[in-house]
């Protein structure tokens, strides 16, 4: 229900009263359960990310880093241009707002950053991570770059049919930069095959 409200109203416009009406409970019940409007929205965002990407993490466990990236980006792009279109627009506008609530920003950012950090750790385990690569900041920088492309899409500058290719190219080129050996070669093949 919260996701529907985010898509309809945008994150900033949602009130506790809107949430209570949609959930058919008293406003006090929501405050008692969550404590704040931000906590409710953050819980909904985390739930969406976990529900969408956790099963993907399990399905792609046996894949190499480049294949994991291809699957994750493909799944996200299909959802963005499909059933999560309005929701994604609202979330991106909020994410790039001049002063987003830190709890909500973390809910939008951290789960996805953790997912990409896992790919970096996989590269590291294979001995293919460049020695100068900073794992702690790479995923953060990559998420910011990919979310900026999604924001361009939400503003109409990237066509639906091009979003997956743009996201995949940006991500694979970034991974090429921090990889060496077989992992780098796999990311180069992935980047070269994007149409």
pLDDT on residue 51? 72
49-90 pLDDT tens trace = 777 766 667 778 889 999 999 999 998 999 899 888 888 888
Separation of alpha carbons 165 and 82, rounded Å: 16
| CA atoms within a 13 Å half-sphere pointing along the CA-CB vector of 31 | 6
pTM of the complete model: 0.83
The full DSSP string for 21-72 is HHHTS-HHHHHHHHSSHHHHHHHHHHHHHHHHHHHHHHHTTTS-HHHHHHHH
CB 183 within 8 A of CB 65: yes
Question: What count of other Cβ atoms lies within 10 Å of the Cβ of residue 179?
Answer: 25
- DSSP for residue 98: S
Looking up tokens 């792609």 gives 60
Separation of alpha carbons 130 and 134, rounded Å: 9
CB 109 within 8 A of CB 119: no
Residue 129's SS3 state is strand
* Percentage of the chain exceeding pLDDT 70: 95
pLDDT on residue 124? 97
């Amino acid at each position: 229900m919260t996701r529907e409200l985010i898509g309809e109203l945008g994150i900033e416009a949602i009130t506790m009263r809107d949430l209570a009406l949609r959930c058919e409970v008293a406003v006090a019940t929501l405050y008692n359960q969550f404590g704040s409007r931000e906590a409710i929205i953050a819980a909904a965002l985390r739930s969406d990310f976990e529900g969408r990407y956790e099963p993907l993490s399990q399905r792609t466990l046996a894949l190499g880093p480049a294949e994991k990236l291809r699957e994750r980006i493909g799944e996200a792009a299909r959802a963005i241009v499909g059933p999560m279109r309005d929701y994604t627009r609202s979330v991106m506008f909020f994410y790039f707002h001049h002063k987003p609530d830190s709890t909500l920003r973390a809910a939008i950012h951290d789960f996805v950053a953790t997912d990409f950090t896992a790919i970096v750790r996989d590269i590291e385990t294979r001995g293919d991570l460049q020695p100068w690569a900073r794992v702690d900041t790479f995923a953060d920088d990559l998420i910011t770059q990919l979310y900026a492309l999604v924001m361009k899409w939400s503003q109409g500058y990237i066509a639906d049919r091009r979003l997956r290719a743009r996201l995949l190219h940006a991500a694979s080129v970034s991974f090429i930069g921090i990889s060496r050996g077989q992992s780098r070669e796999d990311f180069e093949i992935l980047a070269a095959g994007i149409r």
